[in-house]
A and B are shown apart, each in its own frame.
Chain A
Amino acid sequence: AQSVTQPDIHITVSEGASLELRCNYSYGATPYLFWYVQSPGQGLQLLLKYFSGDTLVQGIKGFEAEFKRSQSSFNLRKPSVHWSDAAEYFCAVGAKEYGNKLVFGAGTILRVKS
């Protein structure tokens, strides 16, 4: 069965510090990988996506993620966090073989302290 694990429910970082949010997946097909962000009361906004090619992908708002097939991971990073980055972050996995529907992790809530 397809599954996505985000090990950290909450993460707190200081403004200006670096950030890494972890995502591991279990999938029986070549995955497409996504990170979405959700602010309170809002829908999901796409941060970045990986379909194929370069395993380091750049997204909006200064985020990047690296696909590591050997570790079944797709961790999200940002070198310097801003207070406006406080939100919930979801990793999601899809595959053509499964109709491209997305399976989501449970999310990581990011708190930014000044």
Chain B
Amino acid sequence: EAGVAQSPRYKIIEKRQSVAFWCNPISGHATLYWYQQILGQGPKLLIQFQNNGVVDDSQLPKDRFSAERLKGVDSTLKIQPAKLEDSAVYLCASSPTGGTIYFGEGSWLTVV
């Protein structure tokens, strides 16, 4: 079974530029998550989707971060404009409803 796919794996951008990350969850998983992991910390939830609806985006900095999950499958996370403190690993994860959460390899962002 294919796992959670993410791209790009690595991205370096200058502050104030924009970046987008893509995620393809495990087939059939209704729930999709984006987590932010800053170096030396545990992952923190940014946004949770159930199918194509948002369940929780309380920790998403909405002035610069946006996410969508069109058609309830793939998802895109965008940052615009980026700040230095956005340097982190962005982890996409998916789960069947109420089930175990599986993570992708992550997209590593460096803002310079």
Contacts and interface: CB of A to CB of B under 8 A. Distances in A.
A45 B106 CA distance: 12
Interface residues of A, number: 23
B72 interface: no
B98 A107 contact: no
A5 to B, nearest CB: 11
B65 to A, nearest CB: 17
Interface string A73-91: 0000000000000000010
Interface stretch (B14-22, B41-49, B73-81): B41-49
A26 interface: no
A44 B98 contact: no
Contacts, number: 53
12 contacts: A34-B100, A43-B105, A44-B91, A44-B93, A44-B103, A46-B100, A90-B42, A101-B33, A101-B56, A106-B40, A106-B41, A107-B40
Interface of B: 4, 31, 33, 40-45, 48, 55-56, 91, 93, 95, 98, 100-106, 108
Given A92-B42, A103-B45, 14 more contacts: A4-B42, A43-B4, A43-B103, A43-B104, A43-B106, A46-B101, A90-B42, A90-B43, A94-B101, A99-B55, A100-B95, A100-B98, A100-B101, A101-B55
